Chain A
Amino acid sequence: MTEAVASGPASRQRASRRQPPAALLVLALIGPLIVLLPLAFTLFEAARVDGAEAVELLARPLVGELLVNTIGLVLAATVAAATIGTAAAWLVERTDLPGYRAWGVLAAVPLAVPPFVSSYAWVSLSPGLQDFAGAWLVVTCSYYPLVYLPVAAALRGLDPALEETARSLGCGGCACFRSVVLPQLRPALLGGMLLVALNVLVEFGAFALLRFRTFTTELYAEYRTGFDGPGASLLAAVLLLLCLACLFAEVKVRGGAGYARLGRGVRRRAARLKLGLTTLPALAGFAALAMTTLGVPLGMIAYWLTQHGAAAISPAEASVSLLIDATISSLWLGLSGAAVTVALALPLGFVAVRYQSRFVTLLERMAYLAQGVPGIVVALALISLTIRAAYPLYQTTPLLIAAYAIVFLPLALVSVRAALSQAQRGLEEAGRSLGLGWAAVAWRVLLPLIGPGLGAAAALVFVSIVTELTATLLLAPIGTQTLATQVWADTSTLAFAAAAPYAALMMALSLLSTWLLARRFAATRFVS
């Protein structure tokens, strides 16, 4: 508050209006509080372990192996994703690669393929592809778009005049890329790499299917063997701290992205570099990338769809009634989860956009913390909590939906905030001055402006829930099967043909929603 006063009359005015109605503040609090619940519980449980015992538990060879596996894979996948993502972004944005628009789309799509689906595809293609190599391949394929997308955006935003100035000062092409372009890409590149690291840390399904042991798979194994002891608590806490470290680093890198363009004037697009003789190798590289990241997963699903159950290692057929049940469950969980998550994000987003204060910023950060809490940690914490304190909730749909709300609150919040910033306060005031009460303003001004954005937020959460495996697997009520858990169950038993229809439906839902979202964001947006 003191800061706001010190920084002049404009911010003083703003500060004066920042008194959110109490009811709104209470609604905004719910999201951050339920995010804190599993996080605080996990750390609390770990802290309860006796000091000497904790040292002994953490010094086990198992923990060492898990650390080596996890960190090794995180490093390998991050470096690979950075290399592939940056190269792809540069080729798409800065060269005359034939068909660069189409390649640009194809480079982003793998994000819609969940890693456990691509591991199903790879395992069913070659059962030998397991352990580190398989895990490395699968997570790199799934997550390199997390580097590609921000780096491509940064390249698009770079002012070509900077490079031209460097060239005029005597820098060669390569020197110019190294000394001018790369430093400006650094925030995007580092931020993307940290996101890859975070996603690799929390990944569970793919590693379980590939029999690669990491913290998440070990936690799952301990849960399955009914071992809810101090060892598990400590493992969960170590994983949680690794994730939070990544998250904080990512926030720092993004926050420090201070390479704003100086000066005004219209920015030109950079001229595209002629690839010449390197066109063919570049095209071959892109084709191989698309083949690996999209061709194999989609192709293998299509292949198994056409096979009889007996063709797989475990002969089993998918049953139509099970398929229908799983689809209905997935849709129902996705829709209700999306509705609940967006409903939690909406008051928080509104307070954050309209009533900035330190307290509100704190609430927002608490909600974003959920990004650093692995789904498996959320699920295990909710299981322990309900068994001890709220048994009637254990293994119920509301608990599963609460888990979705925790895991996907940050995703919803980002989109809800973007939607709300479409509706500036001035527009609301203009409506009020024209004789409309707040309800009429909400209906005739706010809703038309933020409605599409809220829909997009809900769609994003919906896709994420439909393709979510970990929390669903651990928390779904007994007898509830979703598309994701069916793919998991059938792949675990090597019944590849039986898994195919579920995987195909899930991918269809995921790709369709992604396509619809991309179309919406490509369409003209309100510019005031």
Chain B
Amino acid sequence: MTHLLIKELDKRFLGDPVLRGVDLAVRSGELVAILGASGSGKTTLLRLICGFERADDGTIAIDGRIVAGPQTHLPPEQREIGYVAQEGALFPHLSVADNIVFGLPRRLRRARFRVTELLELVGLPASFAERPPQALSGGEQQRVALARARAPSPKLVLLDEPFSALDAALRIETRAAVAAALAATGATAVLVTHDQAEALSMGNTVAVLRDGRLVQVADPVTLYRRPHDVGVARFVGEAVLLPGVAASGYVTCTFGRLRLSPGAPEGPVEVLVRPEQIRLGSIAQAGVAARVCGVTFYGHDASVSLLLTGEDQPRTVTARLAGHASPEPGTEVTLTVSGDVVAFSPDSGRRCG
């Protein structure tokens, strides 16, 4: 069942288009991540769904009810949504418990309805209930904000870059807690983020927004493996792009003859290889000759920059290797590519097929 349906949505600020013809359908119980660089319009899209801004054109329906459309603009308080702002926006004058029950009728507020249950849902101890929000860490504040948004049992939860203000370690932990809390209640949710790892790891579906348009809506695996164009390919992960010639399901390029993912055309193309697809071998092995010219070691893995020595024009590519396998700079190696690759039209940058 479709829970959130957005059609032909347009928004301009002082004449500048910010969203152009956005269409999006979110199924019940799904978590959709809207991924975009800053200025892409992703926060505006979320604010339109919330009702904090008015759409210029198009419709938004939540659970079958039109909340925004021509001549319709339901104020946010009537949309039955839960909203988690970038930095939580906890009310500083209320305790954690009072924040959580804020959106409930007076009777339930008095009874501290479901406070313990909701705290537990977001992975916080019940003892937090009486604390002031100022006494909580950023991650804990975000979890309370989610509990508060969930308390009135909204039809839709909207999260506006909820982890961007947290430091790296806290971000991963809070992400997991929030994902678990959302999954536990089967909530439908829309998450806005500029962080591709966050979008890929949290979303059932990822919608990539660029210059106010949705360029691709797909599950994370498809998005990463078969991006719509070169721009998306680069945005969702590191990309090695090489010229090649495609023929009958294979492409010939620097790395030899590689199998294309299904539906590829013929002729000159641009080939996408992900750095983790590149394997290193000793010079005795078959493959393309290269020299290691730099290693950035991260511990669990390493980014290795490689100079292709067998070519007329020297070319550098990047490979990602497990940390224990990282080579010394200067080592002569051979390269092979594992798995299928994707080809793009060299003119438009669009994926072929």
Pick the contact of B102: A1, A12, A431 (CB < 8 A).
A431
- For the complex, is B16 an interface residue (Cβ under 8 Å from A)? yes
Q: What are the residues of chain A within 8 A of B148 when measuring CB–CB?
A: 430, 434
Quick one: given A435-B103, A437-B75, are A430 and B13 in contact (CB under 8 Å)?
A: no
Q: What are the residues of chain B within 8 A of A432 when measuring CB–CB?
A: 51-52, 75-77
Q: What are the residues of chain B within 8 A of A526 when measuring CB–CB?
A: 92-93, 134
Complex: A435 Cα to B92 Cα, angstroms: 19
Q: Please choose the segment from A82-90, A152-160, A421-429, A507-515 that sits at the chain B interface, where 4 or more of its residues have CB less than 8 A away.
A: A421-429
Q: What are the residues of chain A within 8 A of B94 when measuring CB–CB?
A: 448
Q: Which of B57-88 contact A (CB under 8 A)?
A: 75-83, 85-87
Q: What are the residues of chain A within 8 A of B92 when measuring CB–CB?
A: 422, 427, 449, 526-528
Quick one: given A1-B14, A12-B16, A16-B14, are A433 and B50 in contact (CB under 8 Å)?
A: yes
Minimal beta-carbon separation of A357 from chain B (angstroms): 11
Whether the pair B81, A433 counts as a contact (CB closer than 8 A) is yes
Complex: A526 Cα to B89 Cα, angstroms: 13
The listed residue with most B CB atoms (<10 A of its CB), out of A10, A422, A424, A430, is A430
Pick the contact of A434: B13, B43, B102 (CB < 8 A).
B102
Complex: A435 Cα to B101 Cα, angstroms: 12
- For the complex, is B90 an interface residue (Cβ under 8 Å from A)? yes
**Which chain B residue shows the least CB distance to A428?**
B89
Whether the pair A426, B87 counts as a contact (CB closer than 8 A) is yes
Q: Which size bracket describes the interface of B in this complex?
A: 35 or more
Q: What are the residues of chain B within 8 A of A442 when measuring CB–CB?
A: none
Q: Which of B93-111 contact A (CB under 8 A)?
A: 93-94, 102-103
**Which chain B residue shows the least CB distance to A11?**
B13
Whether the pair A427, B91 counts as a contact (CB closer than 8 A) is yes
Complex: A502 Cα to B350 Cα, angstroms: 85
Q: Which of A439-457 contact B (CB under 8 A)?
A: 444-445, 448-449
Complex: A16 Cα to B47 Cα, angstroms: 13
Whether the pair A9, B38 counts as a contact (CB closer than 8 A) is yes
Q: How would residues 199 to 216 of chain A score, 1 for a CB under 8 Å from any chain B CB and 0 otherwise?
A: 000000000000000000
Q: What are the residues of chain B within 8 A of A12 when measuring CB–CB?
A: 13-14, 16, 18
**Which chain B residue shows the least CB distance to A4?**
B14
Q: Which of A511-528 contact B (CB under 8 A)?
A: 526-528
Q: What does DSSP make chain B's interface, helix, strand, loop or mixed?
A: loop
- For the complex, is B133 an interface residue (Cβ under 8 Å from A)? yes
Minimal beta-carbon separation of B49 from chain A (angstroms): 10
Complex: A9 Cα to B44 Cα, angstroms: 10
- For the complex, is B29 an interface residue (Cβ under 8 Å from A)? no
Q: Which of B1-51 contact A (CB under 8 A)?
A: 13-14, 16, 18, 38-39, 41, 43-44, 50-51
Q: What does DSSP make chain A's interface, helix, strand, loop or mixed?
A: helix
Pick the contact of A430: B38, B41, B44, B91 (CB < 8 A).
B91
Complex: A13 Cα to B160 Cα, angstroms: 15
- For the complex, is B149 an interface residue (Cβ under 8 Å from A)? yes
Whether the pair A9, B39 counts as a contact (CB closer than 8 A) is yes
- For the complex, is B152 an interface residue (Cβ under 8 Å from A)? yes
**Which chain A residue shows the least CB distance to B76?**
A432
The listed residue with most B CB atoms (<10 A of its CB), out of A427, A437, A449, is A427
Whether the pair A5, B39 counts as a contact (CB closer than 8 A) is no
Complex: A429 Cα to B75 Cα, angstroms: 11
Complex: A527 Cα to B52 Cα, angstroms: 25
Whether the pair B149, A433 counts as a contact (CB closer than 8 A) is yes
Whether the pair B39, A426 counts as a contact (CB closer than 8 A) is no
The listed residue with most A CB atoms (<10 A of its CB), out of B13, B52, B80, B81, is B13
Q: Which size bracket describes the interface of A in this complex?
A: 20 to 34
The listed residue with most B CB atoms (<10 A of its CB), out of A427, A432, A526, is A432
- For the complex, is A171 an interface residue (Cβ under 8 Å from B)? no
- For the complex, is A8 an interface residue (Cβ under 8 Å from B)? yes
**Which chain A residue shows the least CB distance to B132?**
A526
Minimal beta-carbon separation of B57 from chain A (angstroms): 15
Minimal beta-carbon separation of B153 from chain A (angstroms): 11
Q: What are the residues of chain B within 8 A of A422 when measuring CB–CB?
A: 92
Minimal beta-carbon separation of B210 from chain A (angstroms): 13
Quick one: given A9-B39, A527-B134, are A430 and B16 in contact (CB under 8 Å)?
A: no
Quick one: given A527-B134, A528-B134, are A426 and B152 in contact (CB under 8 Å)?
A: no
- For the complex, is A15 an interface residue (Cβ under 8 Å from B)? yes
Whether the pair B89, A429 counts as a contact (CB closer than 8 A) is yes
Whether the pair A435, B77 counts as a contact (CB closer than 8 A) is yes
Q: What are the residues of chain A within 8 A of B52 when measuring CB–CB?
A: 429, 432
Pick the contact of B93: A435, A436, A449 (CB < 8 A).
A449
Q: What are the residues of chain B within 8 A of A435 when measuring CB–CB?
A: 77-78, 80, 103, 152
Q: Which of B133-156 contact A (CB under 8 A)?
A: 133-134, 145, 148-149, 151-152
Complex: A437 Cα to B103 Cα, angstroms: 11
Q: How would residues 1 to 42 of chain A score, 1 for a CB under 8 Å from any chain B CB and 0 otherwise?
A: 100010011101101110000000000000000000000000
Pick the contact of B44: A13, A437, A444, A445 (CB < 8 A).
A13
**Which chain A residue shows the least CB distance to B133?**
A528
**Which chain A residue shows the least CB distance to B105?**
A435
Quick one: given A448-B93, A527-B92, A528-B92, are A433 and B76 in contact (CB under 8 Å)?
A: yes
Minimal beta-carbon separation of B18 from chain A (angstroms): 8
Whether the pair B103, A434 counts as a contact (CB closer than 8 A) is yes
Q: What are the residues of chain B within 8 A of A15 when measuring CB–CB?
A: 13-14
Complex: A268 Cα to B78 Cα, angstroms: 49
Complex: A201 Cα to B151 Cα, angstroms: 59
Minimal beta-carbon separation of B221 from chain A (angstroms): 30
Whether the pair B14, A427 counts as a contact (CB closer than 8 A) is no
Q: What are the residues of chain B within 8 A of A448 when measuring CB–CB?
A: 93-94
Q: What are the residues of chain B within 8 A of A9 when measuring CB–CB?
A: 18, 38-39, 41
Minimal beta-carbon separation of A403 from chain B (angstroms): 36
Minimal beta-carbon separation of B110 from chain A (angstroms): 14
Q: How would residues 409 to 431 of chain A score, 1 for a CB under 8 Å from any chain B CB and 0 otherwise?
A: 00000000000001010110111
Q: What are the residues of chain B within 8 A of A5 when measuring CB–CB?
A: 14, 16
**Given contact pairs A15-B13, A17-B53, a sample of 18 additional A-B residue pairs in the complex whose CB atoms are under 8 Å apart:** A10-B38, A12-B13, A13-B18, A424-B89, A426-B87, A429-B83, A429-B85, A430-B90, A432-B51, A432-B52, A432-B77, A433-B82, A433-B83, A434-B148, A444-B102, A445-B91, A526-B134, A528-B87
**Could you list 30 examples of A-B contacts with CB < 8 Å?**
A5-B16, A8-B39, A9-B18, A9-B39, A12-B14, A12-B18, A13-B43, A16-B14, A17-B53, A426-B85, A426-B87, A429-B50, A429-B89, A430-B89, A430-B90, A430-B145, A430-B148, A431-B91, A433-B76, A433-B79, A433-B83, A434-B151, A435-B80, A436-B103, A437-B77, A448-B93, A449-B91, A526-B134, A528-B92, A528-B134
